[in-house]
């Protein structure tokens, strides 16, 4: 049996507030509202307390086995697993009543979002990759191609034209991903593409976090321009009006550069004494970055291409922010935790908080400030603050998950968490941006099914972008992380 213990004096004393057969999950929704999930005979039961644990009651949940659970205040999300299928439910009254939002049966490993009416998603099934297209606000997903063996990068620049990277080659499609042709062969170059730009019939660009590849003859030949000419690595870049804006530097001092000749040379714009770890262009055309210290915890804006900067919002009590999405200087979203987002439309005077069943990858806003959250296993659309569509996705690998490391960026330690569907041998390795293995965190070690977490210390590595890869007998996944010293 398991016990749930509670302390009210900083850990000096504990009291037992719940004895449970097998504790699978425990959530604190508010000061006095807790939820606990119990596994008994391959079934699970959901309980809640509304008085800090003095008394508990069973919640009449929808039929099915709960695979994930999220709660804050009166709101409660849960997903139910049926064989290889997941249903998602939402409650606004602490589980007293439930609304089924939606369901699907595809596990999306990655996605390329162009608009609600043109988005692409892909997953890996065995040795092949299936590419799907949605043109109706995620109501249906059409299989476009299932003959791709590897994808390191996927992006569509309009409703028909997209690119993906496989090995050292870039491929292009002009028919929504139905067919693909080779766009560039970069020979022995080691890179991770981040963007592809076709300026004209002759001028083509491939951008990565370490370099720019440039062709002036329509892609027949390519020239290589590494970012190390201005710094050893970059923290972020954006492409605006045929100019490349990049941010480099250290944890305490970030430097902004501009290239007007597509990456051949750069001119210095300004320096900011903080860590501009996340650099983006707002939908209003201005430049923004957000920083987690040490000299600034907030969001900064430039209206003159990075020459000068002004702070539009500062975080309270130097809180760590995991994500920021800027629409304009009044509307932006921030995430303190990995499964929630706070949105303001009045420069931070008031906020609305939204919670998700698990970690989300990206947010996208429409012109009415409604937003869509996308992750590997759900798509949630919020219209006027109400979740209107939730899609959960699952195939044969459901139950496996590699989470984003936290914190990210990090210095020098970070935590990496993963979930296993069954008992098996696990390998977890760290790679640099060139693809070279730099550390073997787990070397084919047997693990029980369930969730596992490891701490990785990168003291011996230099600042830059790294990748961590989880491999089991039935599952493989790679995620990116950033080390800042």
CA 52 vs CA 4, 172, 238: distances in Å: 12, 57, 48
User: Could you tell me the residue range of the domain that residue 86 belongs to?
Assistant: 2-101
Percent of the chain with pLDDT over 70: 73
* Residue 276 covered by a domain: yes
Tell me: do 61 and 200 sit in the same domain: no
Cβ atoms within 10 Å, residue 258: 17
pLDDT at 250: 59
* Residue 35 covered by a domain: yes
pLDDT at 233: 57
For the chain, what is the mean pLDDT? Answer: 77
Tell me: do 332 and 288 sit in the same domain: yes
CA neighbor of 404 nearest in space, from 417, 392, 391: 417
The gap from C-alpha 119 to its chain's centroid, in whole angstroms, comes to: 17
Tell me: do 467 and 327 sit in the same domain: no
* Residue 19 covered by a domain: yes
pLDDT at 390: 41
**pLDDT tens-digit map of 88-119:** 677 888 888 888 765 544 545 566 656 656 67
* Residue 21 covered by a domain: yes
Task: Summarize the confidence of residues 292-317 as an average pLDDT.
Answer: 77
344 vs 217 pLDDT, higher one: 217
* Residue 467 covered by a domain: yes
At 339, phi and psi to the nearest 5?
A: -125, 25
Domain edge (last residue) among 101, 129, 157: 101
pLDDT at 87: 65
Distance CA 360, CA 354 (A): 12
Tokens for 29? Answer: 């929704």
CA neighbor of 331 nearest in space, from 348, 319, 318, 316: 348
Which residue has tokens 């939820």?
35
**pLDDT tens-digit map of 184-218:** 998 867 788 888 999 999 999 998 877 889 999 99
pLDDT of 330 higher than 60: yes
Q: Is 316 helix (H, G, I), strand (E, B) or coil?
A: helix
pLDDT at 234: 63
The gap from C-alpha 10 to its chain's centroid, in whole angstroms, comes to: 33
Tell me: do 57 and 114 sit in the same domain: no
**pLDDT tens-digit map of 12-65:** 778 888 888 777 777 777 888 888 888 766 567 889 999 988 899 988 888 777
Tell me: do 18 and 86 sit in the same domain: yes
The gap from C-alpha 189 to its chain's centroid, in whole angstroms, comes to: 27
Distance CA 362, CA 401 (A): 17
Domain edge (last residue) among 70, 101, 132: 101
Q: How many domains does the chain have?
A: 3
Q: In what order do the strands lie in the sheet with 413-420?
A: 401-402, 413-420, 450-457
- Taken as a whole, the chain contains a residue count of 485
pLDDT of 387 higher than 50: no
Global pTM? Answer: 0.53
Tokens for 320? Answer: 């760590």
134 contacts 115 by C-beta, under 8 angstroms: no
pLDDT of 456 higher than 70: yes
186 contacts 208 by C-beta, under 8 angstroms: no
pLDDT at 177: 87
Q: Is 229 helix (H, G, I), strand (E, B) or coil?
A: helix
Tell me: do 180 and 149 sit in the same domain: yes
**Angle, alpha carbons 206-212-214 (nearest 5°):** 65
Tokens for 202? Answer: 């002759």
Task: Summarize the confidence of residues 448-460 as an average pLDDT.
Answer: 89
Integer-rounded Cα radius of gyration of the chain: 23
pLDDT at 318: 56
pLDDT at 249: 63
Least confident among 171-185, 197-211, 289-303: 289-303
Q: What is the CATH number of the domain that holds 431?
A: 2.60.40.1930
Task: Summarize the confidence of residues 258-279 as an average pLDDT.
Answer: 73
pLDDT band, very low/low/confident/very high, at 442 (cuts 50, 70, 90): very high
* Residue 129 covered by a domain: yes
pLDDT band, very low/low/confident/very high, at 389 (cuts 50, 70, 90): very low
Tell me: do 9 and 97 sit in the same domain: yes
Task: Summarize the confidence of residues 344-351 as an average pLDDT.
Answer: 82
318: which DSSP letter?
Answer: G
Q: What is the CATH number of the domain that holds 50?
A: 2.120.10.60
CA neighbor of 113 nearest in space, from 384, 362, 446, 442: 362
């Amino acid at each position: 049996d398991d016990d749930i213990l509670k302390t009210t004096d900083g850990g000096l004393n504990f009291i037992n507030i719940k004895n449970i057969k097998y504790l699978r999950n425990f959530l604190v929704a508010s000061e006095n509202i807790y939820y606990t999930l119990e596994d008994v005979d391959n079934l699970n039961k959901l309980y809640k307390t509304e008085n800090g644990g003095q008394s508990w009651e069973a919640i009449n949940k929808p039929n099915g086995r709960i695979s994930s659970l999220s709660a804050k205040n009166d709101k409660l999300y849960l997903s139910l697993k049926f064989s290889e299928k997941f249903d998602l439910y939402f409650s606004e009254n602490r589980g007293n009543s439930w609304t089924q939002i939606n369901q699907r049966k595809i596990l999306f490993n990655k996605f390329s979002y162009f608009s609600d009416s043109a988005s692409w998603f892909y997953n890996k099934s065995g040795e092949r990759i299936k590419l799907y297209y949605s043109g109706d606000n995620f109501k249906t997903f059409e299989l476009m191609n299932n003959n791709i063996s590897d994808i390191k990068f996927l992006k569509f620049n309009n409703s028909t034209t997209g690119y993906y990277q496989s090995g050292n080659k870039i491929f292009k499609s002009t028919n929504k991903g139905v067919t693909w042709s080779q766009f560039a062969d970069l020979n022995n170059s080691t890179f991770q593409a981040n963007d592809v730009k076709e300026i004209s019939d002759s001028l083509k660009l491939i951008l990565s976090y370490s370099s720019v590849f440039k062709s002036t003859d329509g892609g027949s030949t390519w020239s290589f321009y590494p970012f190390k000419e201005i710094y050893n690595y970059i923290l972020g870049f954006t492409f605006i009006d045929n100019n490349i804006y990049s941010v480099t530097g250290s944890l305490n001092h970030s430097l902004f550069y501009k290239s007007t000749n597509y990456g051949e040379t750069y001119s210095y714009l300004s320096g900011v004494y903080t860590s501009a770890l996340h650099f983006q262009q707002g939908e209003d055309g201005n430049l923004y970055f957000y920083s987690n210290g040490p000299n600034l915890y907030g969001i900064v804006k430039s209206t003159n291409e990075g020459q000068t900067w002004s702070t539009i919002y500062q975080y309270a009590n130097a809180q760590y922010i995991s994500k920021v999405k800027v629409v304009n200087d009044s509307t932006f979203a921030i995430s303190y935790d990995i499964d929630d987002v706070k949105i303001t439309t009045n420069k931070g005077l008031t906020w609305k908080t939204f919670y998700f069943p698990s970690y989300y990858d990206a947010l996208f806003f429409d012109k009415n400030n409604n937003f869509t959250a996308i992750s590997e296993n759900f798509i949630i659309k919020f219209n006027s603050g109400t979740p209107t569509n939730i899609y959960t996705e699952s195939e044969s690998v459901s139950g496996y998950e590699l989470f984003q490391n936290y914190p990210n960026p990090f210095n020098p330690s970070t935590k990496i968490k993963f979930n296993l569907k069954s008992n098996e041998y696990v390998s977890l390795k760290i790679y640099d941006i060139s693809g070279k293995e730099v550390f073997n965190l787990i070397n084919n070690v047997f693990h029980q099914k369930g969730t596992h977490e490891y701490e990785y210390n990168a003291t011996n590595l230099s600042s830059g972008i790294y990748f961590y890869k989880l491999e089991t007998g039935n599952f493989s996944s790679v995620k990116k992380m950033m080390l800042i010293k």
